[in-house]
Amino acid sequence: MAVIQVQRKPLTLAERTYLPQIFGGLMTTIKYFFRPAETLQYPEQRPAIPPGYRGVPTLVMDPNGREKCVSCQLCEFVCPPKAIRITPGTVAEGKGIDNVEKAPQAFDIDMLRCIYCGLCEEVCPEEAIFLQNQYSMSGYSRAEMVNHKDRLYELGGTLPDKHFKWEVKKAAEQGAGAHH
């Protein structure tokens, strides 16, 4: 590659006195002086969260209010910092989720370890775990920074379901026999 020699022009008298530059700078700063502040008054004003934001991971329910997680533990295995700890359990009778075999008995996400990578959301076959809009977490102890299952559902709420995977499966089983 050819080296291009750039001729540096000698400074003009006006440039050497600094004054035009300083006045130019003063004009710029006075322009900004009269503009409104760009900052938010944080606790009162909150920033708008863009779609696709990866906030605190949460567990969601389906529109029928049923637990989606089947405790397959894929998120636990994929989690790079090992922030997720799941204790699988059986499905309680009469909860309306007898279409699946398992549900988490305990589901803990240690927010001191979580790196908000979103791999758990990506890997979940049930679309049960989502990184949602909450971005500020605080607590007074390490134990407080671990989100347990009830807290995770409280944060997650209910999200619309595009597939109703298990209903479709159930309907298919009842309609077309044992093939699936």
Partner 1 sequence: MSEFFFGLPVVVQGVIKGLAVILFIFPVAAACSMAERKVSAWIQRRPGPNRTIPPMLVGIPGMGVLQRLGLFQLAADGGKFFFKEEPLPNHVHKFYFVLAPFIAMIPAFTTVTVVPFGAYLDPAGKVMPLMLANVDVGMLAIFAVASLGVYSLILAGWASNSKYPFLGGVRASAQLISYELSMTLSVLPVFLWVNEPGSTGSLSLARVVEFQSHAGFWGGTWFLFTMPLSALIFMVALFAETNRQPFDMPESEADLVGGFHTEYGAFKWSLFFVAEYANMIVGSSVFALLFLGGWNPLPWIPLSSLLGGLQHLTGSALWLHPLVAGVLSTCIFVGKVLITIFVFMWVRWTVPRFRYDQVMRIGWKILLPLSIANLVAYTVGIYFLQG
CA 146 – CA 82 distance, rounded (Å): 13
Min dist. Cβ of residue 39 to partner 1 (A): 5
Q: Closer CB to partner 1, residue 33 or residue 140?
A: 33
Residue ranges that bind partner 1, judged by CB under 8 A: 22, 25-26, 28-30, 32-39, 41
Asked if 134 contacts 116 with a C-beta cutoff of 8 angstroms, the reply is no
Residue 67, SS3? strand
Min dist. Cβ of residue 13 to partner 1 (A): 12
Asked if 148 contacts 158 with a C-beta cutoff of 8 angstroms, the reply is no
Q: Closer CB to partner 1, residue 41 or residue 141?
A: 41
Q: Closer CB to partner 1, residue 25 or residue 63?
A: 25
Provide the token pair at 110: 């240690």
CA 66 – CA 62 distance, rounded (Å): 5
H or E segment and range at residue 122: helix 119-123
Q: Please count the other Cβ atoms lying within 10 Å of the Cβ belonging to residue 51.
A: 5
Min dist. Cβ of residue 32 to partner 1 (A): 6
Provide the token pair at 6: 């750039």
Provide the token pair at 81: 């910092």
Q: Closer CB to partner 1, residue 7 or residue 39?
A: 39
Q: Closer CB to partner 1, residue 39 or residue 138?
A: 39
Min dist. Cβ of residue 11 to partner 1 (A): 14
Phi, psi for residue 135 in degrees, rounded to 5: -120, -10
Min dist. Cβ of residue 18 to partner 1 (A): 9
